[in-house]
A and B are shown apart, each in its own frame.
Chain A
């Protein structure tokens, strides 16, 4: 299996990456990657065979052509061959599907993800009050999780190809998917069901951590944010309230607990901002707050460039950036 994966990798240069099915980080993606290689190689071989027959039918010596022009060739190639191959494929694919249905544990970690235009709400209901974040999915390495997916508005879809196939988020339903990440690091996931103007910029980070680090991260998520320590941060938190950010965004340990927009409790520690649209740093935070419609036109956050003084904007971004 490793050899085949290696050959496949040779064929497609540079296909290890943060968002590709060809670089599996988990057992499900690994099974599908193997299946993919079988299908690529098998399909490729059949294609070459059929093209060879086409060429022979026109160019080969008359003796060969006469044999190919017979009813026997038609039955052999057009009925027997496809029936045999497709029966084998039926058996194989049922086997792969069956393997994918086998649960790996009795008590997977439940993770609820709600898709909204154009961000992701992520909750860990089994891990206590306040285990909530947005636009980033943290997973403990080596432990089976069960994603519970639904939508708050239109149909979205969660796709982390390095871990598993995609699954849609449909309002009114909860779709479940079990997966297990076996490698530590950062991956990328993206929305793969057209969901409106900014479907293009609806992605999220997947951070796989060692179990101890994951537990520590959960604990920090649940804890109230520390009180601001610098003058700038105090001013920033004040601006957050005055500008009305709390009407949509929640920050743990403050009176703001709205669920309309991404939870910002530890926003400073996320790899990206705005659904994978921007790298996370103070400058981008400020730029996003000032002009979200320039970066991601059509998303639901209003622009604050005119409402905020430059210094207030910087203070606000600075405070948010400090929440880690």
Chain B
């Protein structure tokens, strides 16, 4: 299909009612009900604006810090408040701005860029936005009640343990931020499914735009990194509330466990932030240079290589903890290796700019040049601090503050600003070029004047996280310069927000002013592109200049709606061969109520109001169930198939590995598996540091083997029951009445035996880390058991309501996958629990 003269799937003109039906299916609710819309063309921009709001709030906190440090001895705010301010500054920047903003740009642009109408699970994406908005805002408010976290953004115990931080500040972080990580994980699951399955026909992986690759690695990294911080937060919260001594050395715990878990998340986190931004640069540079990206395949390889290798760097945040030098050197070497793919990307951009005829210098280009300057400098100081002995001097000083701001502001903020100025006309009205140049210069100068002197003050002996510094150490001049720079940058930031408020309106796009080559620049409405083209190039709009007209006229695939509802075309992951048409849910209140319930549940738990927490939790659960009931698994509608054009007839409902929900469940299993790996890793770590022959320690017994074997058997039985039930459902066309009750009993019984094996052995979780770790395995299993039980009950209800049969099985398949995973996890836990200490 590479010849433009080949016939298109549909003849023109299209019947007039076709467009009307399409518009009706995708119509946005009006008035107050606009809030219920889940379309990515609303959620994406909302997400971006909210993230920029948090950037402003956290940025103001940063300015406050700089004002206090302008001269020695200032006490604009007292020590306690200062500690909350710098902690909140870092926490908001890392959790509530950096990750959400790149995710937001992905949600706003990816469907259009991939030639899709929408993300595959739009209600989930909208839910992720609402918990982020509510939770993030509540978290920020805690600062005004003196309840904000104050242990630094990485919150090391024992400082953050109950003994040294008795207030709710730490819990506000562990619970208040902890659940916002759910938002990122939900987004990641949706992105993986969408990028791999919802592309235009013919868009092979090799043709997929670099930004889609950037978001794919983002999502993959979130799946493997975020569970680590969730587990760490869970462990610390269990220690604080129930006195399970994971981090208390007197009872077998180890503060180092937190650091390993946190940084296993923390280092990939910064690449999670940087790689999508680098991918945005790979989209903007070719357009501005008017030539394809040089080394496209190599750049993709570099993105994925960096993503993987970044998981081998976490201990370089722990170089000063006394870990043996050879271990540190493994991480240092991996750190050097990971610099090669980053260097490759920089040279790819330089080569692309050189390969074009003349690079267009507009505001996006300026921000790209600013990015190259600031990020290269930050990246080089990063290689420096990767060298262990150098870091022994630089660690925890202002040198590191300088480095981290250079890489984050240079490596992410500047590309995001380039992206704003570049893609604004793609989804709405353009921003002002004239003001954009002012914004750029103020920010570029401001950022450098603020952070460059910190390299010097760090090397003159100024540590991090101090509310003042002594006079006479030579630090005064550098701090004053930094403060002045911060004020310059503040003006630039305010000007940017002013420009956005004044110039930007969400209109759906104003054409293709940069003459870019990728598909997000096709005419887009609520339904995305009018029809879905077949792709045979990396830059479809350059290859076929008439593509916009053809798509808009409805000449390509799926110019209408087969079922009268919102639909998306689903393709194969590597080649982009169309496979089926998925029916998508529309607007509803359920995900908003679920978000309110989820946020309320976690926030109220920080102050230990258990009854209101239970009420919020019930509200969330009810909303989830209604969401699932009305918004998923529609079954075959009408004939269950339709002609998308060119004689291609595809089903509108599939089950099994072909279905996107199977893929979403698969991604969820990876998340859960990754979390469980951290749980097992914590168990093994505590075993290792407790010394030979002290697992269990003297006076504490082993779990009861007979209960354990019973649990093992029952878990496996539950898994077998659902798996067998699935086979019967397929063959007989209906679900036998005993399948789900049997599975429920086996699951509950297995779990009961699992708990009993510890409880009846007399193990008390607060006695020693060995007992805590053992109870941790069982507690975490409980999360799966409860969720699995709810899923089983829901599936049974669907069956009774006649919404589940041999053909309409997606709900059952999802439940089956989850239960099999839960059974497997439970079995593994039993083997670990009972086998490991006995085999030592």
- Name which of B78, B152, B389, B466 has the most chain A CB atoms within 10 A of its CB: B389
Cα distance A67–B340 in the bound complex, in angstroms:
22
Cα distance A215–B793 in the bound complex, in angstroms:
78
The digit string for A50-73, where 1 denotes a CB below 8 A from any CB of B, is: 110110111010001111111101
- Stretch from A14-22, A219-227, A238-246 at the B interface: A14-22
Instruction: Given A39-B384, A155-B159, A192-B464, verify A93-B332 contact (CB < 8 Å).
Output: yes
CB of A128 closer than 8 Å to a CB of B: no
The digit string for B436-471, where 1 denotes a CB below 8 A from any CB of A, is: 000000000000000000001001110111111110
CB of A232 closer than 8 Å to a CB of B: no
Structural contact, B351 and A168, CB atoms closer than 8 A: no
Structural contact, B461 and A188, CB atoms closer than 8 A: yes
Q: Which of B356, B376, B380, B391 contacts A69 (CB 8 A)?
A: B356
Cα distance A321–B495 in the bound complex, in angstroms:
58
Structural contact, A54 and B158, CB atoms closer than 8 A: no
The digit string for A31-63, where 1 denotes a CB below 8 A from any CB of B, is: 110011001100100110011011011101000
Instruction: Given A36-B390, A46-B380, A47-B376, verify A53-B350 contact (CB < 8 Å).
Output: yes
Instruction: Given A35-B387, A54-B353, verify A195-B79 contact (CB < 8 Å).
Output: no
The residue of chain B having its C-beta at the shortest distance from the C-beta of A100 within the complex is: B389
CB of B677 closer than 8 Å to a CB of A: no
Cα distance A173–B332 in the bound complex, in angstroms:
23
Residues of A within 8 A of B321 (CB): 168, 170, 175
* Closest Cβ–Cβ distance, residue A133 to chain B (whole Å): 22
The residue of chain A having its C-beta at the shortest distance from the C-beta of B468 within the complex is: A200
Instruction: Given A32-B393, A69-B355, verify A165-B320 contact (CB < 8 Å).
Output: yes
Structural contact, A69 and B390, CB atoms closer than 8 A: no
* Closest Cβ–Cβ distance, residue B631 to chain A (whole Å): 46
Q: How many residues of A contact B (CB 8 A)?
A: 86
The residue of chain A having its C-beta at the shortest distance from the C-beta of B463 within the complex is: A192
CB of A96 closer than 8 Å to a CB of B: yes
Structural contact, B390 and A161, CB atoms closer than 8 A: no
Structural contact, A170 and B322, CB atoms closer than 8 A: yes
Instruction: Given A54-B369, A97-B329, A154-B164, verify A86-B336 contact (CB < 8 Å).
Output: yes
Cα distance A6–B520 in the bound complex, in angstroms:
56
Structural contact, B249 and A14, CB atoms closer than 8 A: no
Q: How large, as a class, is the contact surface on chain B?
A: 35 or more
Instruction: Given A35-B387, A155-B156, verify A15-B350 contact (CB < 8 Å).
Output: no
Instruction: Given A47-B376, A165-B320, verify A172-B396 contact (CB < 8 Å).
Output: no
Q: Is the interface of B mostly helix, strand, loop or mixed?
A: helix
- Stretch from A76-84, A247-255, A260-268, A302-310 at the B interface: A76-84
Structural contact, A74 and B337, CB atoms closer than 8 A: no
CB of B295 closer than 8 Å to a CB of A: yes
Residues of A within 8 A of B468 (CB): 200
Structural contact, B332 and A78, CB atoms closer than 8 A: no
Structural contact, B395 and A192, CB atoms closer than 8 A: yes
CB of A186 closer than 8 Å to a CB of B: no
The A-contacting residues of B in range 112-150, CB under 8 angstroms, are: none
Structural contact, A173 and B465, CB atoms closer than 8 A: no
CB of A197 closer than 8 Å to a CB of B: yes
The residue of chain B having its C-beta at the shortest distance from the C-beta of A14 within the complex is: B474
Ordered by A's residue number, 22 sampled pairs between the chains whose C-beta atoms are within 8 Å are A19-B461, A21-B393, A43-B384, A51-B372, A57-B350, A64-B354, A68-B351, A69-B353, A71-B351, A77-B351, A78-B295, A78-B351, A93-B389, A155-B158, A168-B320, A170-B256, A172-B249, A172-B253, A194-B152, A194-B396, A276-B470, A298-B79
Q: Which 5 residue pairs spanning A and B have beta carbons closest together?
A: A165-B392, A172-B249, A69-B355, A78-B347, A19-B461
Other 6 A-B pairs with CB < 8 A, given A36-B390, A71-B294: A54-B350, A69-B294, A90-B336, A93-B332, A157-B396, A200-B79
